[in-house]
């Protein structure tokens, strides 16, 4: 095993903060075909490009536990699984095999020896598996992929209709005028430029 493989293995053991940075890595095929595929996935609920239907069901179920849908949209509504499917065939291609291994681990915890096991669990059982996976330290990759799918540009097939950005109150524009927030409004002699989640 060379150093790169070792470090890749190491990151799968890690869970939280460093993960996002470590995941960064792999700049692969051009973004144009990816964007086109993403648009197609959005429009037609197209079949998965890389994941099997069972794997996609598991990943959708897991990412829906990371950011649940409820009063406000969650990972399922953002189309996070579509982001993950496309990215694992493109920029994050080198993660496909590790993600599959982690998925097997999740399914083993779910008492299943094949893909689709996690997706078939009820809510209570899913929570128990998530807790076990978290304490075993291998939830990080799914959490980080969920964040990518929630918060990257919608052209990557996640963050549909900006639901990820709306969730945190990020309003994506290319220009702003002060006041920017509540605390600088007085300085700028105007009302705060609050956005949609001020009341939440």
Partner 1 sequence: MKRPENMPAFGLDKEVDFVIVGSGAAGGVLAKELSQSGFQVVVLEQGQWRSEEDFTHDEFDVLFNGGLAGGEDQAGSQTFRQSDKEEAEERDGFQPAWYARTVGGSSVHFSANFWRFRPLDFKEKTLLGPISGTSFEDWPISYEELEPYYTKVDWEIGVSGAPGPFDPPRSKPYPLPPMPVKSSGVLFEKGAKKIGLNPQVAPVAILSKPYRGRASCVNCGFCMGFGCETGAKSSSLSAMIPLAMASGRCELRSDCTVYRLQTNDKGRVDEVLYLDKDGKQRSQRAKAVIVSANGLETPRLLLMSESPRFPQGLANSSGLVGKNLMFNSHAAVNATFEHQLNEYKGIQCTRISHDFYETDPRRGFYGGGGLDGRPLFLAMPIFYSQLFPPSDMPRWGQDFKEYLADSFTRSMTVVGATTSLAMESNNVTLDPTVRDRYGLPAARMTYLDHDDDLAMGRFLQGKAVDMMEAAGARKVVAKETGPTTVSAHLMGTCRMGNDPATSVVDRYHRSHDVPNLFICDGSSFVTSGRGQPTMTIQALAFRAADHIAEFARRNEI
Residues in region 72-91 near partner 1 by CB under 8 A: 72, 74, 91
Closest CA to 18 of 143, 134, 103, 110: 143
Is residue 180 a contact point for partner 1 (CB under 8 A)?
yes
Is residue 174 a contact point for partner 1 (CB under 8 A)?
yes
Q: How many helices (H) and strands (E) does the chain have?
A: 12, 0
Q: Residues binding partner 1: what is the number (CB under 8 A)? A: 71
Is residue 52 a contact point for partner 1 (CB under 8 A)?
no
What three-state secondary structure class fits 134? helix
Sole window of 48-56, 105-113, 114-122, 178-186 interacting with partner 1 (rule: CB under 8 A): 178-186
Q: How far apart are alpha carbons 59 and 81 in whole angstroms?
A: 6
- Closer to partner 1 by Cβ: residue 3 or 114: 3
Binding mask 148-167 for partner 1 (x = CB under 8 A): x-xxxx--x-------xx-x
Sole window of 39-47, 51-59, 106-114, 177-185 interacting with partner 1 (rule: CB under 8 A): 177-185
Output the smallest distance, CB 31 to partner 1, in A.
7
Question: Residue 191 burial (CB < 10 Å; 0-12/13-18/19+)?
Answer: exposed
| Rounded alpha-carbon distances, angstroms, from residue 32 to 50, 155, 156 | 18, 10, 10
- Closer to partner 1 by Cβ: residue 16 or 52: 16
């Amino acid at each position: 095993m060379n150093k790169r493989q070792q470090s890749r293995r190491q990151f799968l053991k890690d869970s939280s903060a460093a993960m996002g940075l470590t995941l960064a890595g792999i700049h692969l095929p051009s973004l144009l075909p990816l964007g086109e595929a993403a648009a197609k996935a959005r429009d037609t609920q197209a079949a998965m490009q890389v994941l099997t239907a069972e794997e996609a069901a598991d990943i959708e179920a897991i990412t829906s536990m990371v950011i649940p849908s409820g009063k406000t949209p969650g990972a399922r509504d953002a189309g996070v699984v579509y982001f993950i499917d496309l990215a694992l065939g493109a920029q994050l291609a080198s993660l496909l095999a590790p993600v599959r291994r982690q998925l097997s681990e999740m399914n083993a915890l779910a008492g299943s020896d094949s893909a689709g096991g996690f997706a078939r669990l009820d809510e209570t059982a899913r929570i128990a598996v998530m807790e076990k996976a978290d304490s075993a330290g291998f939830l990080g990759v799914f959490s980080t992929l969920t964040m990518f799918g929630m918060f990257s540009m919608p052209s990557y097939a996640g963050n549909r209709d900006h639901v990820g950005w709306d969730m945190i109150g990020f309003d994506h524009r290319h220009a702003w005028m002060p006041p920017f927030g509540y605390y600088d409004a007085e300085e700028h002699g105007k009302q705060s430029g609050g956005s949609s989640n001020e009341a939440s």
